[in-house]
């Protein structure tokens, strides 16, 4: 039985747009360069909006081995210093770039009325762990150091990421805690990729979804880890201590490969004393709100995230 067949008949009509928009076959492209190109083409095909009210600029920041790029989305009407948000894009640790999330960042900065710094990082298999989290740690640290120039209040900055970016957001939050780095005010790991072991029920159920399934995830984790032994910064589900992390918002679809590992991390964070808001979206597959942005469920997902960001930023003021 396919995942679509598991959805009850009454729920199917409002979810049709999600499933019609589902991209297929990315993981079947064996060459990683060709796979990245296919993903980029899919994202580029989504209609783009116009955002004249935004100032978009790029900055270079020093990474562990080379300079990396950050893209800042700053509403022209924002009064500095403003609450700010740092974003880490997804792509399974092997794909994605600043451009792949450009439209979403334009929409988010406009909707939230706050500057957003989207940071980049090196990808596997060319650059296996610990390249990605160390690059992201450098990017987050640079934003804090240069917050005033970016229009951000260094005392009110959150960190958000989706999929691999969600896993990296959790990893960076752990690194900031352990290294006594800058203090994040809130954290949004969206359907985060956090467990290399693939032992959960959902990991064994999502086999035919197209965008991100078990075989593709196992392959990506293998490329990402390379010869490294997985630790808490590589796979945050392995972290023994989740205490003293900032207030956290997590959401995931019930048809997402990462569903169960994300449910568990939300429970463990709460048990460790972290304030957690968690949403399980019925009928959503991995990144469905990105590929079907006009679907009713996708709009509900984004609206709920925006409310959470506004609330957490207001509480931090």
Q: What tens digit of pLDDT does each residue of 51-78 get?
A: 999 999 999 999 999 999 999 999 999 9
Distances (CA, A) of 187 to 161, 173, 253: 9, 8, 19
Contact between 137 and 122 under an 8 Å Cβ cutoff? The reply is no
| φ/ψ (deg, to 5) at 68 | -125, 165
Residue 298 has pLDDT above 50, yes or no: yes
The pLDDT of residue 1 is 47
The pLDDT of residue 227 is 94
Beta bridge partners of 119: 70, 88
* Predicted confidence band of residue 200 (pLDDT cuts 50, 70, 90): very high
Query: Span 102-119, mean pLDDT?
Result: 96
The pLDDT of residue 261 is 98
Find, among 90, 92, 234, 129, the residue nearest to 172 by Cα. Answer: 234
The pLDDT of residue 10 is 55
| Cis status, amide bond into 177, omega within 30 of 0 | no
What percent helix, strand, coil does the chain show, rounded to 5?
45, 20, 40
* Predicted confidence band of residue 28 (pLDDT cuts 50, 70, 90): low
The pLDDT of residue 301 is 96
Of 92-101, 218-227, 284-293, least confident by mean pLDDT is 284-293
Packing angle, helices 164-178 and 131-145, rounded to 10: 70
| List of domains in the chain | 3-316 (3.40.50.1820)
When comparing pLDDT for 209 and 144, which is higher? Answer: 144
Q: Which residues, 6 or more positions from 126, have their beta carbon under 8 angstroms from its beta carbon? A: none
Compute the Cα dihedral for 39, 45, 46, 49 and give only its sign: positive
Q: How far is Cα 152 from Cα 81, in angstroms, rounded to an integer?
A: 5
The pLDDT of residue 13 is 60
Q: How far is Cα 151 from Cα 312, in angstroms, rounded to an integer?
A: 19
* Predicted confidence band of residue 292 (pLDDT cuts 50, 70, 90): confident
- This prediction's pTM: 0.92
Token pair listed for 293: 């942005």
When comparing pLDDT for 205 and 46, which is higher? Answer: 205
pLDDT averaged over every residue in the chain: 91
Q: What tens digit of pLDDT does each residue of 165-184 get?
A: 999 999 999 999 999 999 99
Q: What tens digit of pLDDT does each residue of 126-154 get?
A: 999 999 999 999 999 999 999 999 999 99
Q: What tens digit of pLDDT does each residue of 215-269 get?
A: 889 999 999 999 999 999 999 999 999 999 999 999 999 989 999 999 999 999 9
Contact between 234 and 226 under an 8 Å Cβ cutoff? The reply is no
């Amino acid at each position: 039985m396919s995942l679509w067949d598991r959805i009850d008949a009454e729920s199917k009509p409002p979810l049709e747009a999600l499933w019609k928009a589902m991209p297929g076959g990315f993981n079947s492209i064996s060459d990683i360069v060709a796979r990245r190109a296919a993903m980029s083409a899919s994202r580029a095909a989504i209609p783009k909006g116009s955002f004249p009210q935004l100032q978009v600029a790029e900055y270079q920041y020093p990474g562990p081995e080379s300079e990396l790029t950050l893209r800042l989305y700053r509403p022209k009407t924002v009064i500095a210093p403003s609450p700010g948000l740092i974003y880490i894009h997804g792509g399974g640790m092997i794909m994605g770039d600043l451009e792949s999330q450009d439209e979403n960042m334009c929409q988010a900065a406009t909707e939230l009325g706050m500057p957003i710094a989207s940071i980049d990082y090196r990808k596997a298999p060319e650059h296996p762990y610990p390249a990605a989290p160390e690059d992201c740690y450098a990017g987050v640290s640079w934003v804090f150091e240069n917050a005033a120039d970016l229009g951000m209040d260094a005392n009110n900055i959150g960190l958000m990421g989706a999929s691999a970016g969600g896993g990296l957001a959790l990893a960076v939050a752990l690194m900031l805690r352990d290294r006594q780095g800058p203090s994040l005010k809130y954290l949004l790991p969206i359907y985060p990729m956090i467990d290399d072991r693939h032992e959960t029920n959902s990991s064994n159920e999502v086999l035919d979804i197209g965008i991100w399934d078990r075989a593709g995830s196992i392959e990506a984790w293998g490329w990402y880890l390379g010869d490294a032994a997985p630790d808490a910064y590589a796979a945050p589900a392995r972290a023994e201590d989740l205490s003293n992390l900032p207030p956290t918002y997590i959401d995931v679809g019930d048809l997402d490969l990462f569903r169960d590992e994300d449910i568990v991390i939300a429970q463990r964070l709460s048990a460790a004393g972290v304030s957690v808001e968690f949403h399980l979206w019925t009928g959503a597959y991995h990144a469905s709100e990105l590929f079907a942005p006009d679907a009713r469920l996708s709009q509900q997902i984004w609206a709920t995230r925006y409310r959470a960001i506004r609330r957490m930023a207001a509480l931090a003021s």
